[in-house]
Amino acid sequence: MTFRLFALPHVRSHLHSNLSPWAKAICVGALVLLVGETNAVADAPIETVVITATRTAQPAERTGESIDVITTADLQTQQIAVVSDALAEIPGLTINRSGGIGQPTSASIRGAQAGQTVLLVDGVRFNDPSSVDDSALLQDLLANNVERIEVLRGPQSTLYGSDAIGGVVNVITRRGASAPFNLEAAAEGGSLDTVHLNVAANGTDGPVEYGSGVNYYDTRSVSAADSRNGNHEPDPYQHISATSSVRIHVADAVSVDLRGTFINGHDSFDDAFRLIPAPPFSEVADSKAYNNNQLFAGYAGVNFDLFGGTFRNRLAVMATASDRKFFNSFFDPGALNSTEDGEALRFEYQGIVDPTPVDEITFGAETQRSGFRSSDYFAHTLFESDAGHSRISGYYLQAQHRFFDQLTVTGGVRLDDDSEFGTHTSLKLAGAWEIPGWGTILHANYGDGFRAPTLFEDFSVFKPPVPLVPALKPESAKGWEIGARQILFASRVVASLTFFERNTSNLIDFFTCFVKSSGPGCANPLTLQNGGYYFNAGRTHVSGLEAELTARLTDTLKLTANYTNLTALDRDTHLPLAREPHVEANAILVWTPMTDASLGGSVSYVGPRFDDAAASVALHPVALFNVFGSYGLTEKWQLFARIENLCNTHYDPLFGYGAPARTAFAGIRLQT
C-alpha cells in the first residue's frame, strides 16, 4: 500500500522556490521520512472516549461531531511545550502568533475570528473579559501536567453559550493514578538561551485523587518585529505557572473537586512603526515595550449521584481574575502605559439522567457575572479609564437516544439571557450511524453559535452612541457538517472526510471616524473625538472540507496526516477573510523501534493568505519541518531532543513579524 502526503504539490513548490540547495536536500530527506510505502497488520483501534462534545463521557464516533484528541503521549513524543503549537496540528484550526513564544496568539477554528472560540482549562473558561475581543489566553498557556486536549469544531453554543462559534478547546490536566505517588520531572535547554523546567506529581491515596504541576520557561527568543526588516533586538519571554486538581470521595456517591491554575508571564514586544511605500504603508519595528500578565483561576464543585447512579449531578463555582500591565511603549517610554483587569464569577448546575440504557438526558443552568477595568496613562498621568460589568445566564436541555445499537441521535436547545442585549436561543442536532460490518460511520450535525458583545465593546469610550447607532446585538452563526469515517485494512488505517459550512451575521466591527466621518455615530462630538465606535455590520461565509488519516504502517511505524481546504469570505465585500489560509496540511510520522525509544518527524504547511481585510497584504505559503527523538537510559530516565524548523525557513507568521529560524533543544526526563 502507498501513502502520499496531503498537499504535496504545494510543499514541493515551496521547496523549489525558497530554499538553498543544501537545505532542499535536507528537506527532501525529511519528505522521504514522511512519505512511506509498506504493507502491514495492526491491532484494532482503541475506542476514544470524549466529554466535550456532549458534556458527558461518550465514544467519539457516536457524538456526530468533529472532535480530535491530543494526548500526553502526543505532547511528549513531539516534545511540544506550548498548547498553541499542538493546536496548530489540528485540521481546520489556524494559529496566528505575532512573533515568538509568548507573543499575542489567537486560534481560528474553521475561519472563526478571535474571541469566537471557547477555551476551557479544567472546566474553567480562559477567555479574558478585560481584552477587547474576549479572546482566549493562549500566549501564556503552556502544556503543564496536561492529560489530554479535546478540540471540538463547529458552532457549540447549545452547551457552551457565548463565544462558541468556531468551537471549543478543552484542556484537561492529570489527576489520579494507580499508585499513591507518581513523579514526572523534565529539564531541557537549547537555542535562543532557552531553559524549560517542568515538575508534576499525581496519584491516588485512599479517597483522594490528585494531580499538580509547576512549569518554568525562559527564552531570549527573537525580535517580535521581523529581523529581515532591520530589527535585531530580541524580545525575551519568561513564564511560570502552576496547576492543581484534587478529587475527594467523601462517600460512595459523593465527591468534591478542587482545581486551581496560576500563570505569570513576562514578554517584551515591539510597538514602534516605520513607513513603507506599499500597503499597509507601515510595518512594526523594534521598541522596548513589555507586558506583565497574571491569571488566577479556581474551581470548586460537588458531584453526587442518585437512584443508583442513573441521576448524576454537579454543582460548581468558578472564578477567574486577570491582571495585565503594559510598560515602556514606543509612544510613551519609561512608564506604565496601561492596566487591564478582568474578573468573572460563574455558577453551574448540570444534571444527567439515564432513563433507559439507550437514553441520556443532560440539562443545566449557568450564570456568570463578568467585570473589567482598563486604565490608560501618558507621561505618568491617567487620561482614560473604562469599566463595566454584565451578567449572562443560560439554561440548556439535551437528549440522546441510540437506535438498534447503530444510530445515535442527539438534540439540544439553550436559552441565554444577557443583562445588555436580552435573550438568545441556540439549537443543536447531531447524528452518527455505524453501518454494521462495513467499518463505516456516517455523521452529520447542525448547530447555532453566538458571541455576546464584550465588556470593552459595551462599556468603553468606543461603545455605540445610542440612539444615533443601535445598541450592540450578539454575533450569531449557523453551521452544518456532514462526513464519514472509514476503517480499512484490518483496522490498520482510519480515514475520515468532513464537509462543513457556516454563516455568521451581526459581526461587531469598528467604524473609524478619522478616516470616514459619514457614519451616523460620528455626529456625536465625544465619539468623533475618540475616533470611532463599535457597531453590528459584518457577515461572513465559510465552507470547506477536512480530511484525516491515521495509518499503522508497521507494528513500529505510525503516520497521521490531515488536510484542510477552507473558503472564508466576507459576504459584503466578497474578499477572503484576513489571515485565513485556503489550504493547510499536517503530517507526523513516528517510529518506535522499542518501548523506550522513538524517532519521528513532522511537516506543517500553511498556504497563501492575506493579512488584512482589504486583501492587499499577502502572506506567503510556508512549510515547516521538525524532527524529534527520545531514548530511555533506564526504566525511569529518558533523553530527548528535537530540531524545529529543520530547513531554516524564514517566513512571516503575520505581516511584519518574525519567527525563529532553525532551533535545537535537548533535555532529560524522570518518570517514577
User: Could you give all domains of the chain from N- to C-terminal order, each with its CATH number?
Assistant: 8-479+489-671 (2.40.170.20)
Q: Lowest-pLDDT range, 221-225, 350-354, 378-382, 630-634?
A: 378-382
* pLDDT score of 517: 67
Alpha-carbon distance values, 27 to 11, 42, 563, 601, 604 (Å): 10, 29, 20, 11, 12
Give the tens place of pLDDT for each residue, 71-108. 999 999 999 999 999 999 999 999 999 999 999 999 99
Q: Which single residue is written with the C-alpha cell 453551574?
A: 348
* pLDDT score of 19: 44
Give the tens place of pLDDT for each residue, 123-160. 999 988 888 888 878 999 999 899 999 999 999 999 99
Q: For residues 193 and 15, what is the distance between their CA atoms, to the nearest angstrom?
A: 29
Q: Give the pLDDT band of residue 658 (cuts 50, 70, 90).
A: very high
Do 299 and 348 contact (CB within 8 A), yes or no? no
The region that residue 656 occupies, defined by phi over 0 for left and psi between -120 and 50 for alpha, beta otherwise, is: left
In DSSP terms, which residues pair with 477 in a beta bridge? 449, 504
pLDDT of 211 over the 80 cut: yes
pLDDT of 35 over the 60 cut: no
Q: Give the pLDDT band of residue 17 (cuts 50, 70, 90).
A: very low
* pLDDT score of 43: 37
Residue 17 contacts by C-beta under 8 Å, 6 or more apart in sequence? none
The alpha carbon dihedral of 449, 455, 457, 458 has a sign of positive
* pLDDT score of 587: 98
Q: For residues 177 and 260, what is the distance between their CA atoms, to the nearest angstrom?
A: 19
The region that residue 379 occupies, defined by phi over 0 for left and psi between -120 and 50 for alpha, beta otherwise, is: left
pTM of the model: 0.91
* pLDDT score of 42: 35
Q: For residues 418 and 423, what is the distance between their CA atoms, to the nearest angstrom?
A: 6
Give the tens place of pLDDT for each residue, 374-404. 999 988 888 889 999 999 999 999 999 999 9
Q: For residues 222 and 286, what is the distance between their CA atoms, to the nearest angstrom?
A: 11
Composition of the chain by helix, strand, coil, percent to 5: 10, 55, 35
* pLDDT score of 369: 96
The amino acid that residue 370 corresponds to is S
Do 412 and 436 contact (CB within 8 A), yes or no? no
* pLDDT score of 38: 34
Give the tens place of pLDDT for each residue, 229-279. 999 999 999 999 999 999 999 999 999 999 999 999 999 999 999 999 988
Cell triple for 1:
500500500
Looking at residue 225, the DSSP 8-state letter turns out to be: B
Q: Give the pLDDT band of residue 12 (cuts 50, 70, 90).
A: very low
Cell triple for 480:
452544518
Please report, to the nearest 10 degrees, the dihedral formed by the alpha carbons of residues 371, 376, 381, 387 taken in order: -20
Q: Average pLDDT of the chain?
A: 91
Q: For residues 198 and 360, what is the distance between their CA atoms, to the nearest angstrom?
A: 40
* pLDDT score of 502: 98
Q: Lowest-pLDDT range, 220-229, 469-478, 516-525?
A: 516-525
Q: Give the pLDDT band of residue 334 (cuts 50, 70, 90).
A: confident
* pLDDT score of 26: 39
Taking alpha carbons only, the member of 295, 247, 268, 318 closest to residue 144 is 295
One DSSP character per residue, 160-171 reads H-TTTTSEEEEE
pLDDT of 40 over the 60 cut: no
pLDDT of 114 over the 90 cut: no
Q: Give the pLDDT band of residue 7 (cuts 50, 70, 90).
A: very low
* Percent of residues, the chain, with pLDDT higher than 90: 85
Cell triple for 491:
483496522
Q: Give the pLDDT band of residue 13 (cuts 50, 70, 90).
A: very low
Q: For residues 604 and 141, what is the distance between their CA atoms, to the nearest angstrom?
A: 21
pLDDT of 176 over the 70 cut: yes
Do 499 and 480 contact (CB within 8 A), yes or no? no
Q: How, if at all, do strands 532-552 and 557-570 pair?
A: antiparallel
